Structure 1
Amino acid sequence: MTRPLHLILFHGLGADGDDLAPISDLITERMALTDHHWAVHRPDAPVSPVSLNGGMPMPSWFDLIADNGSIDVDRDSLAGITADLQQEIADQVGDDPYILGGFSQGGVLAHRLMLSLPRPPLAAILLSTWLPAPEQIARPTDGRDPAVFIGHGEHDPLIPVRAAGMVNDFLKECGLNNITERHYPVEHGILPNELEDISTWLGETLARAGVA
């Protein structure tokens, strides 16, 4: 029996795991594996009050706070969910290869976990996301360099496109060099041609890793 290749995707604020089904479906349908089979995980965030939205409960990985016209995060809730997911993912994947991905809030988790899990992923897909609380993130010292795809909408009113470059710069400071950053004519969302680009990029990445 072949070993699993885990694809773990984290959704954005107010959504659920099914929101990212178009990504996982495209990847698993397009990408045949030789010595592995796909194991897809699209977990749902807990429902909790979100300060930015007047305390309204909704699916949210961590709390968001309005701060002088900008959006900040509750650092305790962000650190807490990151620690919880580190253990959950370690238990899920064991020694198997895995890929992380996320949209918006979920992208925050994906890049934090990529840098902090004891065993790095093969790749990470970071979509329409940003870099909150970088002081919490310890720079890895093990030479890890997973492939990273950063996609962002040029007209995003919630997370300006410059956030993509800030994530890219931070990852380079952490020693990562295999980074692809692309911008798309969309607001806070994902276009079909972005999905196509992700599929092509990931296929090339897995071929280099010898798993596709």
Structure 2
Amino acid sequence: MGNQPSNNEDMAAPVIVNATARHTATLIFLHGLGDTGHGWAAGLAEIKPAYLKCVCPNAPTMPVTLNAGFRMPSWFDIYTLQQTSMQDEEGIKKAAENLHTLIDEEEKKGIPSNRIMVGGFSQGGAVSIYAALTYKKPLGGLLMLSSWLPLSNQFPEIVKGNTETAIFQAHGDVDPVVPFAWGELTGKKLKTFVKNYEFKSYAGLMHSSCPQEMDDVKQFINKHLPPV
């Protein structure tokens, strides 16, 4: 995929895995810090049902404070990996608005919001959960892999919707980047105001995915975006 103009001059066009049968559902999946949409597009292509289109956006390139200001693909700035540190609220909100725009674009192509699932890995999952809970229309599901709820102290007061949407959160129990405890804290918080939530841990998994997790993702997609 070449670079195309978008609402951010540094953001490449999303990587698209088209449906191979009649397109009736879409998954928008956001990669983690320093990555691109290509890796996740390849992995999702192997597990997706034929009627599902996958949209894997590429984050804009920006300086990241955590990495000494080095420019890399990032949905928002990360200052430190301390749970209590200041967060890039403006950047998180902007990234969530960009995801809302991608959802709206799929709706304009004829896919109803409740047939659109969002999700992401690590920082991408953080954007996805924030975006889903601040979006008024019902979504088809939410995937959070090795991730956390950003600006968690603002919830549930800022929620606009999707408290009944199915959420699947997955986390490796020896993650050295986004600690497993962050995942547990996120789950504890979410369970106070969402209705349909599942948390699954993977023994020995670090900050990555594994075949078992991808199989669980496949089952979640098939359950909540079934054929029509």
Q: Matches of 2:84 and 2:206 in 1, distance apart?
A: 17
Contact 1:62 1:73 in 2 (8 A): no
Give 1:107 deviation, angstroms. Answer: 0.3
| 1:80 lines up with 2:94 in the alignment | yes
**Of residues 89, 94, 115 in structure 1, which corresponds to 2:133?**
115
- Give unpaired runs (5+ residues) of structure 2: 1-20
Moved more, 53-62 or 157-166: 157-166
Inter-CA distance 89–128: structure 2 relative to 1 (3 Å threshold): same
Alignment RMSD: 2.4
Which residue does 1:61 correspond to in 2?
75
Moved more, 53-62 or 194-203: 194-203
Q: Matches of 1:10 and 1:154 in 2, distance apart?
A: 22
SS, match of residue 66 in structure 2:
helix
Which residue does 2:61 correspond to in 1?
47
Inter-CA distance 47–41: structure 2 relative to 1 (3 Å threshold): same
Q: Matches of 1:142 and 1:60 in 2, distance apart?
A: 26
Moved more, 176-185 or 1-10: 1-10
AA partner of residue 33 (structure 2): L
AA partner of residue 117 (structure 2): I
**Of residues 132, 146, 152 in structure 1, which corresponds to 2:150?**
132
SS, match of residue 7 in structure 1:
strand
Inter-CA distance 26–70: structure 2 relative to 1 (3 Å threshold): farther
Inter-CA distance 64–4: structure 2 relative to 1 (3 Å threshold): same
| 1:182 lines up with 2:200 in the alignment | yes
Q: Matches of 1:24 and 1:52 in 2, distance apart?
A: 29
Contact 1:16 1:45 in 2 (8 A): yes
Inter-CA distance 65–144: structure 2 relative to 1 (3 Å threshold): closer
**Of residues 173, 176, 181 in structure 2, which corresponds to 1:157?**
176
Q: Matches of 1:130 and 1:58 in 2, distance apart?
A: 20
Count of matched residue pairs: 202
Q: Matches of 2:38 and 2:22 in 1, distance apart?
A: 26
Q: Which TM-score applies when normalising by structure 1? A: 0.84
Between 1 and 2, higher relative CO (CA 8 Å, sep ≥ 6) is seen in 1
- Give unpaired runs (5+ residues) of structure 1: none
Q: Matches of 1:81 and 1:143 in 2, distance apart?
A: 18
Give 1:173 deviation, angstroms. Answer: 2.4
**Of residues 121, 129, 133 in structure 2, which corresponds to 1:103?**
121
Inter-CA distance 39–74: structure 2 relative to 1 (3 Å threshold): same
SS, match of residue 133 in structure 2:
helix
Contact 2:125 2:147 in 1 (8 A): yes
Inter-CA distance 26–177: structure 2 relative to 1 (3 Å threshold): farther
| 1:11 lines up with 2:11 in the alignment | no
Q: Matches of 1:110 and 1:192 in 2, distance apart?
A: 22
Which residue does 2:8 correspond to in 1?
none
- The share of aligned pairs that are identical, in percent, is 29
The structure richer in strand per residue is: 1
Deviations 1:4-49 (Å, cap 9, x if unpaired)? 3111000000000012124421332xx35xxxx3221000000000
Q: Which TM-score applies when normalising by structure 2? A: 0.79
Contact 2:135 2:160 in 1 (8 A): no
